[in-house]
């Protein structure tokens, strides 16, 4: 197999998105701890390479279906971080005008079909988006992100079968982060997620989800297959989450050393930088410039989101129906 060539522009863009996710989530963590964020927040740290390695292949007209842990997917798909923050703070002008919050961020202009607070809620919807693409005869494709916890929902099996029999341009992107809420994967599932997909007659492969390049290559194959009209694929990306199920989770089920070890040995940004600098002539200085820009951007947008007005009281009654 030919060694893939990575365009430096793509690599710098990928790094920028991963760094944005990391900075965004670390900041959210501090803000949640300070009590300034309403509702539940589920952080994506440790999994950055999965969303970005996937979404680097997608256009605005391609769709993703997301999960309750959706901030990383949004940023990777190109949602505006300022508008995301307004939404997370439930403020006017947020991506959902402040009525969705962290677990329901959607941005249809960017092909982001919504974070979804129902575990396993998104795959059937993604089947529908892929059905639209197939029916209209576009070369668009859809990716549905599925956690290892969601993989045990019946909706996932139904979606795998439906996509397979209708030969839809859909990629089942399993994010195996080791835990379904407070339950480890060694307890909650048997077999292998890629093999489950293979059981429905589609290609399935497992990759290191900490390694951007591994995710990018595998999803590239799946996306190309989808765009050629050859049907669905599955990719299982293994990348442990660094924090709890939600921010505030005491994580009594987890050895604190596990997280220390992850930070030391399984940081997707560090792993990316090592290879990008060594093999693809990316200058470390350039990455540090991106780091600074991102830090400033998030700081500015968090301050703006906190200061933004809430939706007016009348907003309670709007947008239930188009007409009624």
Partner 1 sequence: MAVKSFRDAINETLKQEMRRDSRVIVMGEDVVGGMGGSSGVAEAAGGTFGVTAGLAAEFGRRRVIDTPITESAIIGAAGGAALTGLRPVAELMFIDFIGVCLDQILNQQAKFRYMFGGKCSVPVTIRTLMGAGLGAGPQHSQSLHGVLTSIPGIKVVVPSNAADAKGLLATAIRDDDPVIFCEHKYLYGESCEVPDGEHLIPFGEANVTRTGSHVTVVAFSRMVLLANKVADKLAKEGISVEVVDPRTTSPLDKDSILESIEKTGRLVVVDEATPFCGMASEIAGLAACEALSSLKAPVQKVTAPHTPVPATPGLEQDWLPSVERIEAAIRATLTQKFARAG
Q: Give the interface with partner 1 as residue ranges (CB under 8 A).
A: 63, 65, 94-100, 104, 106, 108, 113-114, 116-118, 121, 123-133, 135-136, 154-155, 158-159, 161-162, 165-166, 318-324
Kindly tell me which of 255 and 319 has the beta carbon lying closer to partner 1. 319
* Residue 244 structure tokens: 């709890």
CB of 201 to partner 1, least distance (A): 13
Kindly tell me which of 16 and 227 has the beta carbon lying closer to partner 1. 227
Residues 6+ apart with CB under 8 A from 69: 42, 43, 44, 47, 115, 147, 175, 241
Kindly tell me which of 133 and 206 has the beta carbon lying closer to partner 1. 133
CB of 133 to partner 1, least distance (A): 8
User: Nearest-CA neighbor of 49 among 26, 29, 73, 70?
Assistant: 73
CB of 27 to partner 1, least distance (A): 23
Cα radius of gyration (the chain) = 19
CB of 177 to partner 1, least distance (A): 23
Kindly tell me which of 234 and 240 has the beta carbon lying closer to partner 1. 234
CB of 307 to partner 1, least distance (A): 20
Kindly tell me which of 104 and 271 has the beta carbon lying closer to partner 1. 104
């Amino acid at each position: 197999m030919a060694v893939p060539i990575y365009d430096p522009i793509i690599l710098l863009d990928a790094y920028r998105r991963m760094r944005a996710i990391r900075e965004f989530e670390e900041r959210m963590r501090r803000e949640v701890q300070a009590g300034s964020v309403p509702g539940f927040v589920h952080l994506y740290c440790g999994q950055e390479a999965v969303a970005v390695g996937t979404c680097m292949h997608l256009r605005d007209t391609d769709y993703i279906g997301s999960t309750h842990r959706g901030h990383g997917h949004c940023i990777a798909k190109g949602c505006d971080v300022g508008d995301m923050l307004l939404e997370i703070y439930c403020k006017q002008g947020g991506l959902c005008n402040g009525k969705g919050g962290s677990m329901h961020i959607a941005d249809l202009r960017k092909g982001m079909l919504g974070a979804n607070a129902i575990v396993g809620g998104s795959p059937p919807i993604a089947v529908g988006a892929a059905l639209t693409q197939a029916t209209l005869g576009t070369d668009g494709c859809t990716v549905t992100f599925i956690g290892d916890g969601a993989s045990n929902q019946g909706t996932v099996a139904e979606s795998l079968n439906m996509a397979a029999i209708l030969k839809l341009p859909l990629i089942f992107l399993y994010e195996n982060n080791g835990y379904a809420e407070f339950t480890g994967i060694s307890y909650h599932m048997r077999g292998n997620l890629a093999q489950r997909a293979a059981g429905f007659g589609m290609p399935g492969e497992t990759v290191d989800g900490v390694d951007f390049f591994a995710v990018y290559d595998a999803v590239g194959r799946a996306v190309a297959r989808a765009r050629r009209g050859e049907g669905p694929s599955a990719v299982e990306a293994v990348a442990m989450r660094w924090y709890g199920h939600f921010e505030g989770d005491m994580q009594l089920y987890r050895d604190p050393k596990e997280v220390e070890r992850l930070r030391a040995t399984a940081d997707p940004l560090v792993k990316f930088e090592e290879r990008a600098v060594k093999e693809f002539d990316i200058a470390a200085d350039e990455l540090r410039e991106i780091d600074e820009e991102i830090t400033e951007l998030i700081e500015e947008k968090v301050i703006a989101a906190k200061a933004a007005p809430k939706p007016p009281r009348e907003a309670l009654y709007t947008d239930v129906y188009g007409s009624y």
